[in-house]
Amino acid sequence: MRILVTGGAGYIGSHTVVELLVAGHNVVVLDNYCNSAPVALQRVSDIVEQATGAQASLTTIEGDIRDRALLDQLFEEHAIDAVIHFAGLKAVGESVDKPLEYYENNVGGTVTLCQAMDAAGVTRLVFSSSATVYGEDAPVPYVETLPRGRTSNPYGTSKAMVEQVLTDLCRANSRWSVALLRYFNPIGAHPSGLIGEDPQGIPNNLMPYIAQVAIGRRSELSIFGDDYDTPDGTCQRDYLHVVDLAIGHLKALRALNEPSVKAYNLGTGRACSVMEMVQAFEKASGRKIAYRIAPRRAGDLPAFWANPSKAAQELNWQAKRSLEEMMADTWRWQSTNPNGYHG
């Protein structure tokens, strides 16, 4: 198939493009590089050429999902069969300060993309949603039969809004087939060490922060709270390997063969605490992670993890890679690229 991947130069997108190309798909990436760099896609091609011995069938287009004229031209020039839609803004704290940017990019951008798709007769879509749509009061583990909940920041609300937009679209138009993939906490990197997560500025997320302490870019990790009602007092999350997550997109794509909108949790089904993450990383890297206990971070939930049964049953997908692999692959990426893609 020929797949349009929006945001394909980003962290999850680049890993998914590798899996698509290795599986023999043709890929067109549309990215405005607001949170990524073209070099990531060069590395993707290198990985694929090493793995397959053939040149990767990858076309890259620099541009914005909000640019309708560009989208119309793209769909005219490339016979796209389906779209995997990663493009968007994802920093929770920033979304509180800049709500309009988040709604414009994440909600407005998706609406424009869907309008262009519909006009071009492309009606198969895999959307990057998030466990955050379950909101603040959902019982754990999260299961897809729960309603979307009360979200606590514009980022989370933008994901819930897009889910609603896509649900309404599918209800109104029986040609559409949509998978809403609710990611839990993706971490890790490609085992080649060539691509990985490269946050700009101070990392918001735990794993890149730990990795930057290990390499000496940050002096110590702040652990946000050790007095939660969890076994060791630190928060628990469901961390999954980004390559497993990438493979989930291929499986979801394969299942887009009937008119429907379906949500799937992509997680391991296991919870791991911040303290356990620190210890596992120390073991994999052989480096000590300096940390201090800091106050709780506003908006953090004590613990959540996935019930991943629906994806197992309907998509034949399961997260296979262990926590040790997640840590080893993060460390390989960080230690061979101390400054990410920037030198």
What residues are labeled active site?
A: 155
Site for ligand NAD in 219-238 (CB under 6 A): none
Answer yes or no whether residue 262 interacts with ligand WQD by CB under 6 A: no
Q: Which two tokens stand for residue 33?
A: 């590089």
Which residue carries 């929770």 as its tokens? Answer: 92
Contact with ligand WQD (CB under 6 A): which of 86, 127, 134, 209?
Answer: 209
Answer yes or no whether residue 242 interacts with ligand WQD by CB under 6 A: no
**How many residues appear in the chain?**
343
Stretch that binds ligand NAD, among 1-9, 260-268, 270-278, 286-294 (CB under 6 A): 1-9
Which residues fall within 8 angstroms of residue 77, CB to CB, at 6 or more apart?
none
Site for ligand WQD in 101-140 (CB under 6 A): 130, 132
In this structure, are residues 179 and 256 in contact, taking their beta carbons and an 8 Å threshold? yes
Peptide bond just before 141 cis, omega within 30 deg: yes
Answer yes or no whether residue 109 interacts with ligand NAD by CB under 6 A: yes
Site for ligand NAD in 138-197 (CB under 6 A): 183, 185-186
Toward ligand NAD, which CB reaches closer, 65 or 328?
Answer: 65
- What CA–CA distance (Å, rounded) separates 260 from 169? 10
Binding letters toward ligand NAD, positions 26-65, x by CB under 6 A: ----xxxxxxx---------------------------xx
Q: How far is the CB of 206 from ligand NAD (least distance, A)?
A: 10
Contact with ligand NAD (CB under 6 A): which of 3, 25, 80, 86?
Answer: 86
**How far, in Å, are 152, 249, 293, 312 from residue 339 at the CA level?**
32, 28, 26, 37
Which residue carries 């090493």 as its tokens? Answer: 50
Answer with the entry of ligand NAD, ligand WQD, none that 237 interacts with (C-beta below 5 to 8 A by kind): ligand WQD
**CA atoms 24, 61, 202, 235: torsion sign:** negative
- What CA–CA distance (Å, rounded) separates 168 from 163? 9
Answer yes or no whether residue 305 interacts with ligand NAD by CB under 6 A: no
Answer yes or no whether residue 337 interacts with ligand NAD by CB under 6 A: no
**How far, in Å, are 156, 263, 297 from residue 129 at the CA level?**
9, 9, 23
Q: Which residues bind ligand NAD (CB under 6 A)?
A: 6-7, 9-13, 30-36, 64-66, 86-90, 105, 109, 128, 130, 183, 185-186
